[in-house]
Amino acid sequence: MAHRFGILRRFRFNRPQRIAAGLLALFLAQGLWVTSRQTLTNRDYQYARCGRETWERPEAEPGYYTSCGNIRDGILAYRMAGLPLTLNLLVERGLDRFRPPADRVVQTSGEISTWELRHQLTHVLLLMRLPFLLAGCVLGGCIWWVTRRLYGNLGGYTALALYCFSPAILRDCLTPSAEVLAALGVYGGVYTSIGVAHAMMGPRPKSRVRIVLLTVLLGVAAAAHIAALPVAALLGLAAMIWVAEGHRSQALPIVGMASAGALVLLFASYGFLPDAFSYVFRSADGFLWFSLDPARRFFSAFENAGITIAAGAAAFLYLGVRRSRYFGNTMPLFCALVLMALVMTGAPGSPWVWSLPFLLTFAGGVFADAYESPRGRLAMYAAGAIVVLQAALCLMSLPGMV
């Protein structure tokens, strides 16, 4: 019994955790502010309808997985968007037992009144946004956990603050899309791979737990976007080969086993229907190419000026200061550069969004090194000014704030 609750006893919600929670609360507050000023769009209705069919009617039309056709990018966003409506339908079915026959939402013939469902489910827009907002908060928590362990509290604060005031991340959390979910799977998959590589040199049970976690995260990446699984697996494999000195022969089998488990999870997300699942491999929607246009557009946007300055300053310090060029800073920089240069040629997707957590991790790590230099106080003031600038630009970009 003592061992079972040992993890809970080790958890502490002290000042660092409170500050991180406060930053994530600000991120969530921004999302709720924008949501209160949005209206339902055709994209919302499409994701809600197709997502609801994945839960209730997997074979809506012969030969197709949903009435929207075969899903091109990833099924996870559709399922998350349709889940609130499906849960509401289950609640209405339960309440129908206590209603007169004429007032039931689901009639005895099996027909469902769409008008009544739409008007009985309040806060539809908020319910559709919450799953993606919460995914954004989980991604922010992952960035905080990684950067704090690698760079300390100040490095973690810097990376998390830039993340919480990133208009690009906030925008993708406020529309049904696969980007934040894929970013979570890729970022978590790469750093869990690094954790597995470290665990290879320790007790075997700890390594097994991390391999299971790696499988789940790669499954999230696979279900989020068709191209996210190979990207996460290859970057994770490169990280494991880099770290696991003396155990590099085990890297490929572990990543291969985790990827196979991720495909099983992807198969399950398609309801174990072979036709819908096989479309993922029969289409050319997962093809990738290289282009610098996404990076050029991101760094030239005025609302991202703080992040641009932070990335430029971090790159300058990384190249100019020898003590900043180590694995903890080099790996996120490498991942950010690779993902920022990728573009989708088939299904819609924005791999440059997947690169932002790695870019902010790199910035937090380099700034953390600068904080410990002889001019650490000056570096703290400069980083604080950059964060304040980015926060001001992000808040100014919100509707109704200016």
pLDDT digits (tens, 9 = 90+) for 369-378: 999 999 899 9
pTM, two decimal places: 0.91
Compute the CA torsion angle 311, 312, 314, 315 (nearest 10 deg): 110
Q: Which residues contact 53 (CB under 8 A, 6 or more apart)?
A: 60, 66, 67, 68, 82
Q: Confidence class of residue 258 from pLDDT cuts 50, 70 and 90?
A: very high
Residue 361 has pLDDT above 90, yes or no: yes
Mean pLDDT for the stretch of residues 239-265 = 91
Block residue for tokens 């976690």: 213
Residue 342: phi and psi, rounded to 5, are -85, 145
Residues 178 and 51 sit within 8 Å (Cβ to Cβ): no
Pick from 17, 25, 73: nearest CA to 347? 73
Which pLDDT score, from 0 to 100, does residue 259 have?
Answer: 95
Pick from 383, 390, 396: nearest CA to 157? 383
Domain boundaries, the chain: 8-36+133-176+284-402, 42-122, 180-271
**What is the SS3 assignment for 99?**
coil
Write out pLDDT tens, residues 279-338: 777 777 778 889 999 999 999 999 999 999 999 999 999 999 998 999 999 999 999 999
Residue 11 has pLDDT above 70, yes or no: no
What 145-148 contacts at long range (C-beta under 8 Å, 24+ apart), as own/partner pairs, is: 146/191, 146/361, 147/361, 147/364, 147/365, 147/368, 148/16, 148/20
Q: How far is residue 176's CA from residue 191's CA, in Å, rounded to a whole number?
A: 26
Residue 339: phi and psi, rounded to 5, are -70, -35
Helix or strand (DSSP H, E) at 290: strand 288-290
Residue at 35: amino acid letter: T
Mean pLDDT for the stretch of residues 119-134 = 79
Percent of all residues in the chain with a pLDDT value above 90, rounded to a whole number: 56
Looking at every residue in the chain, the average pLDDT score rounds to 87
The backbone region for 359, taken as left when phi is positive above 0, alpha when psi lies in -120 to 50, beta otherwise, is alpha
Residue at 391: amino acid letter: A
Which pLDDT score, from 0 to 100, does residue 249 have?
Answer: 86
Higher-pLDDT residue of 211, 57: 211
Q: How far is residue 253's CA from residue 248's CA, in Å, rounded to a whole number?
A: 10
Which pLDDT score, from 0 to 100, does residue 48 have?
Answer: 84
Q: How far is residue 187's CA from residue 190's CA, in Å, rounded to a whole number?
A: 5
Which pLDDT score, from 0 to 100, does residue 261 have?
Answer: 95
Percent of all residues in the chain with a pLDDT value above 70, rounded to a whole number: 88
Which pLDDT score, from 0 to 100, does residue 279 have?
Answer: 75
Q: How far is residue 267's CA from residue 252's CA, in Å, rounded to a whole number?
A: 22
